[in-house]
Amino acid sequence: MAGHRVHLLWISLLALFSVHVHCFYLPGVAPEDFQKGDQLFVKVNKLTSTKTQLPYS
């Protein structure tokens, strides 16, 4: 019974704090700022753009 209450408490706290979340953090990935025209090196499976064609090599 006590384990159920602890589980319910964690779910309640998660629901309470998730309402005010505007971002997330992945450990080991630091945020970076880029300027227009900067080179960007990415490792992805697919790139899409709604504005221009993307060079993919």
Between these two residues, 35 and 47, which has the higher pLDDT value? Answer: 35
| Cα 47 from Cα 57, distance rounded (Å) | 11
pLDDT of 20 reads 66
What are the residues whose beta carbons fall under 8 Å from the beta carbon of 54, sequence distance 6 or more? 47, 48
pLDDT averaged over every residue in the chain: 80
- Rounded mean pLDDT, 11-31: 76
Measured CA distances, 9 to 6, 13, 16, 18, 57 (Å): 5, 6, 10, 14, 50
Whether this model's pTM surpasses 0.75: no
